[in-house]
Structure 1
Amino acid sequence: MFDIGASELLVLVIVAIVVIGPKDLPMALRTAGRWVAKMRSVSNHFRSGIETMIREAEMEEMERKWKEQNERIMRETAAQEVAAAQGQSVDDASDQNDPLPAGDGEPVMIGPMPPEAKHDEAAAASGTAQP
């Protein structure tokens, strides 16, 4: 923070001894120490107040997001209940609200294929599959 070298510190000590005097120097250093301690406490208090305000702002933002998610979930649940009351299956009701296309309807396997599935697939390709 402050770039004070040894020679500069020596000059400060000599000036302090000459200006203040060796008799009053301990009292001046004590007073300076009190002021530094007071400045640190004010700085820490200010910093903790700022951190508290930031934490509160983050909590408000998270509460707003949770409220929006809760409202969305409640709307979806209400739509599913209405669909169930009208006789539609829950999947049909969710498909109507689903923005993504359903595809060809075949299941998609994610990950490595088990050995028996590989055998069945090879047999189906060669026409020797057993029902």
Structure 2
Amino acid sequence: MFDIGAAELLVIVIVAIIVIGPKEMPRAMRTAGRWIGQVRKVSAHFRTGIDAMVREAELEDMEKKWKAQNEEIMRRSAINAEKDAGEPVMTGPPPIETGETGPDPMADDPAPDTQPAPKKADEAAPELPLPPRQEPKD
């Protein structure tokens, strides 16, 4: 914003010391620091307000676009429904078929400790031998 180099800053400090004096310089620097802080606070508040207004305007534009798209979709679906007046219109996902393809996925799971019984004797799971028992060492 302000293009102040090292040379210009040095000239400003020398002039300030000559005009204000070295005795009053710390007090003048504190006062200048307070003013700069107040200016920064006001500019940050102003910037925040501008950003909020911009966001609100963008949201209003997006709502208008969404409303127009929604109306277009509704109009198209109404036209398509009129064309297909004799056929039922499907409004949800297709039904899940159960039976030979497997159990109903929405059914509750059986208890975890129960196991289905084998259907035939030859399909039974073979029994596994138990590991050897180890005696505790004293």
TM-score by length of 2: 0.56
Correspondence for 1:48: 48
Correspondence for 1:73: 73
Correspondence for 1:59: 59
The separation in 1 between residues aligned to 2:82 and 2:11, in whole angstroms, is: 85
The alignment covers a number of residue pairs equal to 89
Over residues 59-115 of structure 1, what are the superposed CA-to-partner deviations in whole Å (9 max), with x where a residue is unaligned? 111110110111111111122222222x3799xxxxxxxxxxxxxxxxxxxxxxxxx
The separation in 2 between residues aligned to 1:61 and 1:15, in whole angstroms, is: 54
Give the aligned CA root-mean-square deviation in angstroms: 2.1
Correspondence for 1:23: 23
Extract structure 1 runs of 4+ deviating beyond 4 A: none
The separation in 2 between residues aligned to 1:75 and 1:5, in whole angstroms, is: 64
Higher helix share: 1
SS of the aligned residue for 2:71 comes to: helix
- Provide structure 2 residue ranges, at least 5 long, that are not aligned to the other structure: 90-138
1:9: how far off? 2.2
Identity %: 64
SS of the aligned residue for 1:19 comes to: helix
Q: Which has the higher contact order (CA 8 A, sep 6+)?
A: 1
Over residues 22-63 of structure 1, what are the superposed CA-to-partner deviations in whole Å (9 max), with x where a residue is unaligned? 121111101101111111111111112111111111111111
2:58 maps to amino acid: E
Q: How has the CA–CA distance of structure 1 residues 14 and 73 changed in structure 2, closer, same or farther, with 3 Å as cutoff? A: same
The separation in 1 between residues aligned to 2:54 and 2:19, in whole angstroms, is: 46
Larger Rg: 2
Correspondence for 2:127: none
- Provide structure 1 residue ranges, at least 5 long, that are not aligned to the other structure: 91-131
